[in-house]
Structures are given as structure tokens and as C-alpha cells.
């Protein structure tokens, strides 16, 4: 009743809007496909097509069957390749979490282009997380690999690490910020008078970290690095930014950097992946990063001066 050939015939008629054009496309006679659709309608017990002398259109039931038939046929057509891929040790789905510091839409797109060409039947899912949220996602959600976990030591025996490098930080503010006019060195009392701009740690189960905040200091929390940079440029607060990101802004006179009593130490970042039952796609991604291949250079290119 709903065999693949019948479904393909139905989809072709629905897409061409004409029995004759569908027959030509399918290399069948008009009578053959008309008879097949009549049997289909008789079997399902409802009309699927509205026929006129020149064209056909879909009934509500026909529109529903069309959407379902496309999904079924796609699943059937891809199943052989999926089964072969699974037999070869390739994952059906790979979930990857990326640190906000290393996140780049272009880097994601470049890696995806490389992966989908090699693993066309694998579904890839990327998530963007902040600070300990990267570890949280890798350890407590169904994620296979993390790009940019904090630290060089694993938080679990089940997770392997490959160090990527360190992010260096500069304390910055807008040129017209009141602190930029103060005589150096700045004290904590002077700093505390002005808001700190921070990105909120996205961890749910692990303890969240605060990047930089003095006791009693007002905090402005923003969702991502782009907003944090914009807030500093607007002069609404002070704080630390990755050196390679803010260096061009400093050189352009849009930001100034100062030394404060306690500077933020460099942040080591690592690639992390689940050891158990590692599939070929994850293995390939790890190899790309370990060998610093061009397909993944975009992930650390914004931090090239510190991730060496």
C-alpha cells in the first residue's frame, strides 16, 4: 500500500501537478501511474488528489501524506549508507560543545564542511558554552567532544585532554572612562567604584566561576564576548578581555589597558573528548586539532598571539 515506488509516484505527481508530466519523469505510462494512485487512495480510504482536466492538486490528507512521504523516502534512500557507516565505526550523531572564547561561526562552518563531506550520514550538533559550562555540558549531557575546556587537567577519568594553549588577558576600559584619568597604580578602592562587565558562566551542575569581580563591586552580566566588548567600548564598565581580541582596539585608540593590583592569569584551554567508544568522526576531529590542520585553525585564529 505504501511501498517506496508508490510513494515516489505520488510525490512526483504532487510536485509536477500533472499526471502526464509525472509519467514522463518516471518513464511510465499515464495509465500506469493513474492506476497506482487509484489503488493507493482505495487502500488508505480517503481521496489524496483533486483531479481536473489539466492538473491535479492535493487534498488536506494528500498534503499530509506528501510531507510524510518525503521524510520516509529520505530515510529509506539514506539507510544503506547509514548502515554501512555504522558498520565502519562512524557515529550516527556527534555533539560538540565549544568554549565561548574559541567560538567562531566561520570556524564552525569550515569544520562542518570538512566533516559532512566525509560523514554525510552523521548528524553534527554544536553548542556554545561559557567557562565551566563547557565542562558541565561534556560531563553531564550527551556530548562527545569539547573545544576549549578550561585547564590542562581532566575533571573525569573518562575524559581525555589535549592542551591547545593559553589565553592572555588585558584589563581594559574606554578612553573616556574615569579610571583612565586616574594616576597609577590603581587601587582596589578606586576599581570598586565602577561596574565590572562579565559574561555569566553557563554551568548548571558544576560550580560557576566569576571572571573578575571585587567584593562589593557592581557587576554587569552580558551573554557573550561580542556584547562584553561592545560594553567596554561604550564605557559602561571595566574588566578583562583576551589580549588578541582587544589589542587592535587598543592600537586604534578605542580602548586603553591598565595594570591593576591583581592581574588575571593566563587561561589554559584544552580539547577534551570521551574516551569510551570513540567513533571515527571524533577521532578525526581530535587529529585535526592535535596536528593543527587548516580545517580547524579558525578556532584559535582570534587568539593566535596567545595560543601558540
The strand pair at 159-167 and 196-199 is best described as unpaired
State the DSSP code for 238: B
Q: What is the pLDDT of residue 307?
A: 45
Mean pLDDT (whole number) for 99-125: 92
Please give the domain boundaries of the chain with CATH numbers for all domains: 4-87 (1.10.10.10), 93-166+267-303 (3.40.190.10), 169-257 (3.40.190.290)
Return the C-alpha torsion angle 206, 278, 157, 211, nearest 10: -30
DSSP line for 105-137: HHHHHHHHHHHHHH-TT-EEEEEEE-THHHHHH
- pLDDT, tens only, 194-232: 999 999 999 999 999 888 999 999 999 999 999 999 999
d(CA 193, CA 91): 53
- pLDDT, tens only, 54-98: 778 899 998 999 988 888 887 777 666 666 766 666 788 899 999
Q: What is the pLDDT of residue 55?
A: 77
pLDDT band at 300 (very low <50, low <70, confident <90, very high): confident
pLDDT exceeds cutoff 50 at 308: no
Q: Most confidently modeled of 6-15, 32-41, 224-233? A: 224-233
- pLDDT, tens only, 138-190: 999 989 999 999 999 999 999 999 999 899 999 999 999 999 988 888 899 99
Residue 202 Cα to chain centre, angstroms: 15
Q: Please tell me whether residue 294 adopts helix, strand or coil conformation.
A: helix
Other CB atoms within 10 A of residue 178 CB: 13
Return the C-alpha torsion angle 102, 103, 109, 114, nearest 10: 40
Q: What is the pLDDT of residue 154?
A: 94
| 0.75 exceeded by pTM | no
d(CA 256, CA 197): 15
Q: What is the pLDDT of residue 272?
A: 97
Nearest to residue 256, comparing CAs of 170, 167, 168, 169? 170
Amino acid at each position: 500500500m505504501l511501498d517506496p515506488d508508490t510513494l515516489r509516484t505520488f510525490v512526483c505527481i504532487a510536485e509536477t501537478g500533472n499526471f502526464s508530466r509525472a509519467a514522463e519523469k518516471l518513464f511510465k505510462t499515464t495509465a500506469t501511474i493513474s492506476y497506482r494512485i487509484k489503488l493507493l487512495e482505495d487502500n488508505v480510504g480517503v481521496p489524496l488528489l483533486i483531479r481536473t482536466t489539466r492538473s491535479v492538486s492535493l487534498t488536506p490528507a494528500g498534503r499530509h501524506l506528501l510531507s510524510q512521504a518525503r521524510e520516509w523516502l529520505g530515510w529509506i534512500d539514506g539507510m544503506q549508507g547509514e548502515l554501512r557507516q555504522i558498520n565502519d565505526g562512524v557515529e550516527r550523531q556527534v555533539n560538540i560543545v565549544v568554549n565561548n572564547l574559541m567560538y567562531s561561526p566561520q570556524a564552525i562552518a569550515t569544520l562542518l564542511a570538512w566533516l559532512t563531506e566525509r560523514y554525510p550520514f552523521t548528524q553534527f550538533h554544536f553548542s556554545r558554552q561559557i567557562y565551566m559550562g563547557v565542562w558541565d555540558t561534556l560531563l553531564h549531557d550527551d556530548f562527545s567532544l569539547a573545544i576549549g575546556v578550561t585547564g590542562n587537567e581532566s575533571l573525569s577519568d573518562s575524559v581525555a585532554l589535549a592542551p591547545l594553549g593559553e589565553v592572555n588577558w588585558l584589563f581594559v576600559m574606554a578612553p573616556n572612562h574615569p579610571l583612565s584619568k586616574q594616576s597609577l597604580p590603581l587601587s582596589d578602592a578606586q576599581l570598586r567604584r565602577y561596574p565590572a562587565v562579565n559574561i555569566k558562566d553557563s554551568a548548571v551542575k558544576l560550580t560557576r566561576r566569576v571572571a573578575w569581580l571585587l567584593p562589593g563591586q557592581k557587576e554587569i552580566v552580558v551573554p557573550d564576548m561580542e556584547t562584553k566588548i561592545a560594553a567596554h567600548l561604550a564605557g559602561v564598565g571595566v574588566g578583562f578581555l583576551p589580549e588578541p581580541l582587544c589589542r587592535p582596539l587598543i592600537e586604534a585608540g578605542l580602548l586603553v589597558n591598565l595594570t591593576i593590583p591583581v592581574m588575571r592569569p593566563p587561561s589554559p584551554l584544552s580539547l577534551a573528548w570521551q574516551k569510551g567508544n570513540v567513533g571515527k568522526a571524533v577521532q578525526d576531529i581530535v587529529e585535526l586539532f592535535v596536528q593543527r590542520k587548516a580545517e580547524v585553525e579558525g578556532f584559535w585564529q582570534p587568539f593566535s598571539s596567545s595560543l601558540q
